[in-house]
Chains A and B, each alone.
Chain A
Amino acid sequence: MTESKLTLDGQQVEFTPGETLYELASRHGKTIPTLCYDPRLEPFGGCRLCAVELEGTKAPVASCTMRATPGMVVRTDSQSLDKLRRTLLEMVASENRELEVDPLRGYASQQLKELVDRYGARTGRFKGRTSGKSHADDNPFILRDYDLCISCYRCVRVCAEQEGDYAISIMNRGFETRITTEFEGKLKDSQCTFCGQCVQTCPTGALADRKALANAKIPGETRKTRTTCAYCGVGCSLDVLSRGDRIVGVHPAMDGPANEGALCIKGQFAFDFVHHPDRLKSPLVRGEDGELHEASWDEALDRAARGLGQVIEEHGRHSVYCIASGRTPSEACYLMGKFVRAGLGTSYIDNCSRA
Chain B
Amino acid sequence: MALPDELPRPVETRDLIELFRHQPAPLLAVLHALHDRDGYLSDEVLGEVSKGLRIPLADLFGTVTFYHHFARKPGGKAAPRVCTGPVCCQHGALDLVQKLGATEMPCAGRCDQPVPVLAGDQVLDPHGQPLLSPLPVPNPGGCEECVFAHIREPGRSNLAGYGYEALQKALTMTSQQVLDLVSESGLAGRGGAGFPTGTKWKLVAQAQGYPKTVVCNADEGEPGCFKDRALLDHDPHAVLEGMLIAAHATGASRAFLYLRYEYPHTLRILERALEEARAAGLLGTCEIYLRRGAGAYICGEEGALLNSLEGRHPFPRYRPPFPVTHGFENLPTAVNNVETLASVPPILRNGAAWYRSLGRNGQAGTKLISLSGDIQKPGNYEVPLGLPLRTLLEEWAGGAPEGHTIRAVTMAGLSGGFLGGADLEVTLDEPSIRSRGSFLGAGGIIVFHDGRNMVEAARQAMEFFAHESCGKCFPCRIGTQRLVERLSGEAGPGEKERWVEEVEDLGHTMKALSACGLGMAAPLVTESLNRYFPEDVAAHVGRNA
Whether A177 pairs with B482 at a CB distance below 8 angstroms is: no
- The prevalent SS among residues of A at the interface is loop
Q: B502: which A residues are within 8 A, CB to CB? A: 125-126
Q: Which residue of the partner chain, among A87, A166, A172, contacts B471 with CB atoms under 8 Å?
A: A172
Report A230 CB to chain B, min CB distance, Å: 32
Whether B482 pairs with A94 at a CB distance below 8 angstroms is: yes
Q: Which residue of the partner chain, among A59, A167, A181, contacts B520 with CB atoms under 8 Å?
A: A59
Report A190 CB to chain B, min CB distance, Å: 7
- The prevalent SS among residues of B at the interface is helix
Question: Knowing A47-B473, A91-B482, A183-B61 touch, does A173 contact B468 (C-beta < 8 A)?
Answer: yes
| 27 A-B pairs whose Cβ atoms sit less than 8 Å apart in the complex | A46-B473, A49-B474, A51-B513, A60-B512, A62-B515, A87-B509, A88-B513, A91-B475, A126-B482, A128-B482, A160-B56, A166-B59, A169-B58, A169-B62, A169-B63, A169-B313, A171-B61, A172-B66, A173-B471, A174-B467, A174-B470, A174-B471, A174-B477, A175-B480, A180-B61, A182-B57, A183-B43
Q: B402: which A residues are within 8 A, CB to CB? A: none
Whether B509 pairs with A91 at a CB distance below 8 angstroms is: yes
Cβ-closest chain A residue relative to B514: A48
Q: How far is the CA of A347 from the CA of B121 in the complex (A)?
A: 72
* CB of A43 within 8 Å of the partner chain: yes
In the complex, per-residue mask of B474-492: 1 if CB is within 8 Å of any chain A CB, else 0: 1111111110010000111
Whether B474 pairs with A45 at a CB distance below 8 angstroms is: no
Q: How far is the CA of A318 from the CA of B469 in the complex (A)?
A: 69
Whether A91 pairs with B474 at a CB distance below 8 angstroms is: yes
Report A256 CB to chain B, min CB distance, Å: 27
Whether A59 pairs with B471 at a CB distance below 8 angstroms is: no
Q: B509: which A residues are within 8 A, CB to CB? A: 84, 87-88, 91
* CB of B505 within 8 Å of the partner chain: yes
Q: A160: which B residues are within 8 A, CB to CB? A: 56, 59
Q: Which residue of the partner chain, among B472, B478, B480, B508, contacts A95 with CB atoms under 8 Å?
A: B478
Report A122 CB to chain B, min CB distance, Å: 16
Q: A45-B472, A129-B485, A173-B298 are in contact. List 8 more A-B contacts (CB 8 A).
A: A45-B318, A47-B473, A62-B515, A125-B502, A127-B491, A171-B65, A173-B66, A174-B477
Whether A173 pairs with B473 at a CB distance below 8 angstroms is: no
Cβ-closest chain B residue relative to A35: B474
Whether B318 pairs with A62 at a CB distance below 8 angstroms is: yes
Q: A65: which B residues are within 8 A, CB to CB? A: 318
Question: Knowing A59-B513, A128-B481, A175-B466 touch, does A151 contact B471 (C-beta < 8 A)?
Answer: yes
Whether A171 pairs with B513 at a CB distance below 8 angstroms is: no
Report B421 CB to chain A, min CB distance, Å: 26
- Interface range for B: 35 or more
* CB of A191 within 8 Å of the partner chain: yes
Within 8 A of B (CB), among A6-65: 35, 43-49, 51, 59-60, 62, 65
Q: How far is the CA of A160 from the CA of B66 in the complex (A)?
A: 19
In the complex, per-residue mask of A202-220: 1 if CB is within 8 Å of any chain B CB, else 0: 0000000000000000000
Q: A51: which B residues are within 8 A, CB to CB? A: 512-513
Report B264 CB to chain A, min CB distance, Å: 22
Whether B511 pairs with A48 at a CB distance below 8 angstroms is: no
Within 8 A of A (CB), among B31-66: 43, 56-63, 65-66
* CB of B320 within 8 Å of the partner chain: yes
Whether B473 pairs with A129 at a CB distance below 8 angstroms is: no
Whether B56 pairs with A191 at a CB distance below 8 angstroms is: yes
Within 8 A of B (CB), among A73-130: 84, 87-88, 91-92, 94-95, 125-129
In the complex, per-residue mask of A175-202: 1 if CB is within 8 Å of any chain B CB, else 0: 1110011110000001100000000000
Cβ-closest chain A residue relative to B298: A173
Q: B412: which A residues are within 8 A, CB to CB? A: none
In the complex, per-residue mask of A326-353: 1 if CB is within 8 Å of any chain B CB, else 0: 0000000000000000000000000000
In the complex, per-residue mask of B439-478: 1 if CB is within 8 Å of any chain A CB, else 0: 0000000000000000000000000001111111111111
Question: Knowing A62-B318, A166-B56 touch, does A177 contact B471 (C-beta < 8 A)?
Answer: yes
Q: How far is the CA of A183 from the CA of B63 in the complex (A)?
A: 11
Whether A190 pairs with B512 at a CB distance below 8 angstroms is: no
Whether B474 pairs with A181 at a CB distance below 8 angstroms is: no
Whether B515 pairs with A46 at a CB distance below 8 angstroms is: yes
Whether A171 pairs with B62 at a CB distance below 8 angstroms is: yes
Within 8 A of A (CB), among B51-101: 56-63, 65-66
Whether A174 pairs with B515 at a CB distance below 8 angstroms is: no
Report B294 CB to chain A, min CB distance, Å: 12
- Chain A contacts to B: CB under 8 angstroms: 35, 43-49, 51, 59-60, 62, 65-67, 84, 87-88, 91-92, 94-95, 125-129, 131, 150-151, 160, 166-177, 180-183, 190-191
Cβ-closest chain B residue relative to A174: B469
Whether A174 pairs with B481 at a CB distance below 8 angstroms is: yes
Q: How far is the CA of A66 from the CA of B322 in the complex (A)?
A: 12
Q: How far is the CA of A49 from the CA of B467 in the complex (A)?
A: 23
Whether B474 pairs with A150 at a CB distance below 8 angstroms is: yes
Whether B471 pairs with A126 at a CB distance below 8 angstroms is: no
Q: How far is the CA of A51 from the CA of B514 in the complex (A)?
A: 10
Q: B474: which A residues are within 8 A, CB to CB? A: 35, 46-49, 88, 91-92, 150-151
Report B312 CB to chain A, min CB distance, Å: 11
Q: How far is the CA of A131 from the CA of B474 in the complex (A)?
A: 12
Q: How far is the CA of A49 from the CA of B473 in the complex (A)?
A: 10
Q: How far is the CA of A60 from the CA of B508 in the complex (A)?
A: 12
Q: B506: which A residues are within 8 A, CB to CB? A: 87, 91, 126
Report A20 CB to chain B, min CB distance, Å: 10
Question: Knowing A128-B491, A175-B480 touch, does A45 contact B66 (C-beta < 8 A)?
Answer: no
Report B203 CB to chain A, min CB distance, Å: 17
In the complex, per-residue mask of B203-229: 1 if CB is within 8 Å of any chain A CB, else 0: 000000000000000000000000000
Q: Which residue of the partner chain, among B468, B473, B482, B512, contacts A84 with CB atoms under 8 Å?
A: B512
Which of B58, B466, B508, B512 is most buried by chain A, counting CB atoms within 10 A of its CB? B58
Question: Knowing A43-B318, A48-B513, A48-B514 touch, does A151 contact B62 (C-beta < 8 A)?
Answer: no
Question: Knowing A129-B485, A129-B491, A172-B471 touch, does A91 contact B478 (C-beta < 8 A)?
Answer: yes
Whether B511 pairs with A59 at a CB distance below 8 angstroms is: yes
Q: How far is the CA of A216 from the CA of B57 in the complex (A)?
A: 36
Cβ-closest chain B residue relative to A169: B62
* CB of B230 within 8 Å of the partner chain: no
Which of B60, B296, B469, B505 is most buried by chain A, counting CB atoms within 10 A of its CB? B505
Whether B512 pairs with A172 at a CB distance below 8 angstroms is: no
Whether A171 pairs with B59 at a CB distance below 8 angstroms is: no
Cβ-closest chain B residue relative to A36: B474
Report A136 CB to chain B, min CB distance, Å: 18
Report B232 CB to chain A, min CB distance, Å: 26
Report B295 CB to chain A, min CB distance, Å: 10
Report A91 CB to chain B, min CB distance, Å: 4
Report B135 CB to chain A, min CB distance, Å: 35
Q: How far is the CA of A127 from the CA of B65 in the complex (A)?
A: 28
Report A144 CB to chain B, min CB distance, Å: 14
Which of A66, A91, A191 is most buried by chain B, counting CB atoms within 10 A of its CB? A91
Report A248 CB to chain B, min CB distance, Å: 32
Q: How far is the CA of A67 from the CA of B325 in the complex (A)?
A: 15
Q: B466: which A residues are within 8 A, CB to CB? A: 174-175
Q: How far is the CA of A169 from the CA of B509 in the complex (A)?
A: 28
Cβ-closest chain A residue relative to B511: A59
Closest 3 CB pairs of A and B: A166-B56, A169-B62, A174-B469
Cβ-closest chain A residue relative to B505: A87
Q: How far is the CA of A175 from the CA of B476 in the complex (A)?
A: 9
Cβ-closest chain A residue relative to B57: A182
Question: Knowing A62-B318, A129-B491 touch, does A175 contact B58 (C-beta < 8 A)?
Answer: no
Q: How far is the CA of A94 from the CA of B505 in the complex (A)?
A: 14
